[in-house]
Structure 1
Amino acid sequence: MYSKKLTPEQVALYHQQGYVVVKSFCSKAEIDKLYSTAVNDNAMLNNAVDLNDQSGKKTKLSLWFTPGNDVFGYLTRSEKMVSSVQQLLGDKAKVCHFHSKLMQKEPKVGGAWEWHQDYGYWYKNQFMFPDELISVMVALTPANKENGCLQVIKDSHKLGRVNHGFSGEQVGADMTMVNNALKTMELVYLELEAGDALFFHSNLLHRSEANLSDYPRWSIISCYSLQSNLAYNESSTSWKTPVNVVPDEAILEWDAESLSNADFLKKENDPALKETGWEKEVAN
């Protein structure tokens, strides 16, 4: 069971290779509650968006900005989550929540995502400091090669921001740089058990294959920034609001609201999202 504090070795590993995996970050009981909510809360279904890969396969996602008093809000606001992010980003400013998304790769139809960096498009939001941005993926189901687990290029965060452009409906990294990175650095398949957490740098190159297996791959991904990291082209406000931390026990023991009141991203409400590559921004 996770002890609420990363070890010095884990912190060093994150800075060295651009990511760190924390095993059993969430307990089975926590994952059961999170996954049950993901499947049964109508707000998730009603606000899910289909994203197409180049072969026509689809990945569903639901994205919201402000963490609330629902079970996913309790996870993203939990002491273990926020304290871990603070350790990795440093103690010079408070942790803020940018957005969270539920990723749903269904069996046989869940789509692929091209190589990209999160900061490749968060740059368009004009966040100033990529070292003060981080994503945390918590696996709600097992993630493996068969169902399209995340692939990363180890150490690639040291490249800095790579140019990104459109490829079909997606926005991906410059493949010349990606191929050079693959010749130089190690490709890693990050196979996770349900409850494992992956913390990764905003400039880490990553992708995922389509889910061709008989089993789903679902995950919750929460993205954080330090309050000192100004974003000059971002209309949401959660990115500059320090997280209201709750105890870890809240996930299982506190009454949880539905996500029906969450401030979900809605594609049809902002036609500019298509032009800024929002599909790629929110997918992993």
Structure 2
Amino acid sequence: MASFVYNGGELEVSEDMKKAFNTDGYIVVKGLWREKELSVVEEALTGEDAITQYAYGNEDKDGKEARMCIWSYTGNDTTGTIARTRKMAYTAEQLIGGEVYHYHSKLMMKEAHSGGRFHWHQDYGYWYNFAFLFPDMITAFVALDKCDEENGCLQVIRGSHRCGRIGHGVMAGQVGADESRVKDIQTALDTVYVPLSPGDTLFFHANLLHCSAPNTSPRRRWALLSCYSRADNKPYDKVICSEYRPLEMTDNEAVLRQGVNCDLDGKEITMKVNNEYKVVRP
């Protein structure tokens, strides 16, 4: 697994990082978010007016549930500031090869003993149907808790982004990649676990196959994900998530400088009601 260490200041995206991303479909940046920053994030996500009030559950085929909340447009709260920092957005630009804008962000919540699995899928397996013509998209997955095999950390198939988009279908309420095709790919490419410590950040390509097992541990497993599309890959229609808006990046100290902010004005939040999705504006 290609991992790199953040030592503060501007994150220099080296040629080695770009090469690893292009070859493997992902890289890990260790320590991208510090403990005191994560404390601000934790308070912003668990306060009375937190965005988690809009969370909904997704059941896997075994009936276990992982909760999530998802929003378009950054807004100005703590979660939006995270997505706009240069160490997230500019790094995404350098890896995906061009100006990016914020497509959406989400909080993934696997609670202790109960957090369900996510089946093998590609993000572009979903996003293809949301009016994007190309897979020039990238996700920054920030571990808020320790992620390991016991509590359902991500697994990826290294290099699978080079296989192109794979057919997806509904699996017990989730959208998953064609299982027979995934098995064939696993005979040619390595399947690897991606353990992360709090603050570590995984950047991965929209066509990288990934999944995660249920959380059977006594520890929760929360992660905050910011998803970006290249600006020249604007959606041709607005389907649930955001249309193109230029991304106003901020410096890497912005979260600490701002502090806890739960003002959700400016976001569009996707909710699941009676198995149908609707968008609300707080």
Q: TM-score, normalised by structure 2?
A: 0.91
Q: Say which structure is richer in helix.
A: 1
- Cα distance between partner residues in 1 of 2:71 and 2:147: 23
Cα deviation digits, residues 157-188 of structure 1 (max 9, x gap): 01000000111211110111100111111011
Shift of 1:230: 2.5
Name 1:28's counterpart in structure 2.
Answer: 35
Q: Does 2:21 match 1:14?
A: yes
* Contact 1:5–1:83 (CA under 8 A) maintained in structure 2: no
User: 2:228 maps to what in 1?
Assistant: 224
Residue identity matched to 1:16: T
Q: Matches of 1:269 and 1:89 in 2, distance apart?
A: 36
Q: What's 1:101 paired with?
A: 106
Cα contact 2:142–2:225 (8 A) shared by 1: yes
* Residue equivalent to 2:46: 39
Partner of residue 12, structure 2: 5
Report what 1:81 is aligned to: 88
Contact 2:40 2:260 in 1 (8 A): no
Amino acid at match of 2:213: E
Provide the identity percentage. 37
Counterpart amino acid of 1:234? K
Match of 1:249 in 2: 253
Determine whether 1:187 maps to 2:194: no
After superposition, where does 1:58-77 map in structure 2 within 5 Å? 58-77=65-84
Partner Cα distance (1:148, 1:140) in 2: 14
State how 1:231-242 maps to structure 2 within 5 Å: 231-235=235-239, 238-242=242-246
> Equivalent of 1:208, from 192, 208, 212?
212
Match of 2:272 among 246, 267, 271: 267
Amino acid at match of 1:28: E
Change (3 A) 1:237 1:120: closer
Q: Once the two structures are superposed, what CA deviation does each residue of 1:87-118 show, in whole Å capped at 9, x if it has no partner?
A: 01113xx3100000011110000010100000
Does 2:162 align with 1:158?
yes
Gaps of at least 5 residues in structure 1 are 275-284
CA drift at 1:41:
4.6
Task: Judge conservation of contact 1:224–1:239 (CA < 8 Å) in 2.
Answer: no
149, 170, 176: which one pairs with 1:172? Answer: 176
- Match of 1:264, SS state, is strand
**Structure with greater strand percent:** 2
Encode CA deviations 1:139-161: one digit per residue, 9 max, x unaligned: 00010000000000000001000
**Following TM superposition, by how much is the alpha carbon of 1:45 offset from its aligned partner in structure 2, in angstroms?**
2.9
Give the secondary-structure state (helix, strand or coil) at the position aligned to 1:267.
Answer: strand
Provide, for residues 193-242 of structure 1, a one-character-per-residue CA deviation record: whole Å limited to 9, x for no partner: 00000000000000000000011110001100111103124335744111
Cα RMSD after superposing both structures: 1.8
Would the aligned equivalents of 2:64 and 2:117 in 1 still touch at CA under 8 Å?
yes
Q: Distance in 1 between matches of 2:195 and 2:90?
A: 24
56, 75, 84: which is aligned to 1:49?
Answer: 56
Q: Using the alignment, how far apart are the partners of 1:157 and 1:47 within structure 2?
A: 32
Q: Secondary structure at the match of 1:104?
A: strand
2-side partners of 1:103 and 1:173: how far apart?
A: 20
CA distance in 2, matches of 1:178, 1:60: 25
C-alpha distance in structure 2 between counterparts of 1:41 and 1:226, whole Å: 35
Q: TM-score if structure 1 supplies the norm length?
A: 0.90
Q: 2:203 matched to 1:196?
A: no
